[in-house]
Amino acid sequence: MAQAFTAEQREHIRGRLICGARRFALNPGPQKTSLEMLTGEAGISKSSFYKFFESKEQLFLIVADDWERQVISQALHTLAEKPDRSDRQRAADMILAAFTSIHEMGIARFLMEDLPRLIESAPEGRVRERYLSSSERIFATMKEAHIRFSVPDETVLSIIRMLYLSVLHIRQIGPSYFPALHALVEGAFLRLIP
């Protein structure tokens, strides 16, 4: 007979599964994380896992969604701190806050490599359209903040993607990464925003 969980136990177990998925998402990564690793973390059987999530991929997508919300929240926080700045300054602040957040959380590799695979494995139509790339979310947030660009949206999005890819190479670039990123972002937005 299947084990019944109280509401309190369900909440606790769900939290443990999400906490374990956060840790395993970074190392060894979603593909190398087994269901046994996740259920062992939560102290439940493999069959009980499916009382909480449809799949391991769904669990990792929940973690990804939470991380991306945190990144966007940081970008929005910079807008709230300095509402009277120009569109150019606001856009640069948002990019720098988002990239700094991604770096500090240590999730760049996950967002660039693992998240697209997870989205690809998601059921057609149900989950895929809900997930944007981090670059697209940052761009959408800029548009929601009414930042107007003087070039086509595709150009702005491509520049954000190029800058975003640089986050993966922080170690190779070294300690000058953030000053260089700051200079690149400010230079880019001089041309992109009237």
DSSP letter assigned to residue 54: S
Whole-number Å distance between alpha carbons of 17 and 28: 16
With a cut of 50, list the residues of the chain below it in pLDDT: 1
What pLDDT shows up at residue 167?
83
Whole-number Å distance between alpha carbons of 125 and 95: 29
Torsion of Cα atoms, 22 then 103 then 74 then 117, to 10°: -50
What pLDDT shows up at residue 1?
43
What pLDDT shows up at residue 65?
87
Whole-number Å distance between alpha carbons of 161 and 50: 36
> Is residue 188 a contact partner of residue 151, using CB atoms and an 8 Å limit?
no
Q: Is the dihedral of CA 100, 106, 112, 116 positive or negative?
A: negative
**10 Å Cβ neighbour count for 99?**
27
Helix (H, G, I), strand (E, B) or coil at 75: helix
Classify 1-53 by CATH class: mainly alpha
Locate 172 and state its tokens: 């190779």
The whole model's pTM is what?
0.81
DSSP letter assigned to residue 114: I
What pLDDT shows up at residue 3?
64
